Amino acid sequence: MKRLFLKPIHFTYFRVRRVFKPISIGVRVLLIQDNKVLMVKHSYQDGWFLVGGGAKQRENLADAARREAMEEAGATLGEMKLFGIYTKIAYRHTDHIAVFLCKDFTYTGNGDWEIDAIELFSLDTLPENTAPGIRRRIEDYLAGVKPEEGFGEW
C-alpha cells in the first residue's frame, strides 16, 4: 500500500526537478561494523542504499547525516569522518553528496515510513540490486580511499 502511494510522489518529484533544474545537497553514511555495511531499502524505489537523504535548510551536513541515520535505521552515530564529496550530474539537475564514514554506531532497525527493510551485509557479498553509486562508494572504502581522495562522480 505504501509503495502505491509513494511511487507517484517520487515520480512527480523527479519530473518537477527536470523543469526547475535544481542543485541539491545530500548525505550518505557508510555504517561499517564487523566487516559489514548497514543498508536500507526504500519503499519508493528499488535497490539497497546507504542511509542518507537531503540536507534541510540551515542544517549542517554532519547533522543531516545523523538525522537521516536515525530516521531511516534508528541508528545513533558515534564518531564520524568525512569520506568524500561526490557529484551526480543527471539530466537537468545536479546532486552533491557528502559521504561520511562511521564505525561506531548502534541501531534499532526501526526505520521511518519510507523504509521497507534494513540489513547488515558483508562488504564482500553485497546484494545484486545495490545501487551503482553505493556500490562504488563501498568499493572505494575497500580500496582504502582516503578522505582527501574521495571526490568525483557519484
Q: What's the pLDDT score for residue 132?
A: 93
Asked whether 27 and 98 are in contact (CB, 8 A), the reply is yes
Q: What's the pLDDT score for residue 122?
A: 98
Q: How many CB atoms lie within 10 A of CB 74?
A: 16
Q: What's the pLDDT score for residue 144?
A: 94
| DSSP single-letter state for residue 114 | T
Grid cell 545495490 is found at: 130
Q: What's the pLDDT score for residue 90?
A: 79
Q: What's the pLDDT score for residue 112?
A: 82
C-alpha distances out from residue 147 to 2, 36, 83, 101, Å: 37, 20, 5, 9
Q: What's the pLDDT score for residue 93?
A: 79
Alpha helices in 21-105 (DSSP H): 61-73
Q: What's the pLDDT score for residue 89?
A: 87
Mean pLDDT by 10 residues, the chain (154 residues): 61 58 89 98 93 95 98 97 92 88 95 91 96 95 86 74
Q: What's the pLDDT score for residue 13?
A: 59
Q: Which amino acid is at 15?
A: R
Cell triple for 83: 569520506
Using CB atoms within 10 A of its CB, is residue 39 exposed (0-12), middle (13-18) or buried (19+)? buried
Q: Which CATH number fits domain 2-153: 3.40.50.720, 3.90.1150.10, 3.40.50.920, 3.90.79.10?
A: 3.90.79.10
Is the four-CA dihedral 26, 33, 114, 90 of positive or negative sign? positive
94-115 as b/e, with b when 16 or more CB fall inside 10 Å?
ebbbbbbbbeebebeeebeebb
In degrees rounded to 5, what are phi and psi of residue 150?
A: -85, 65
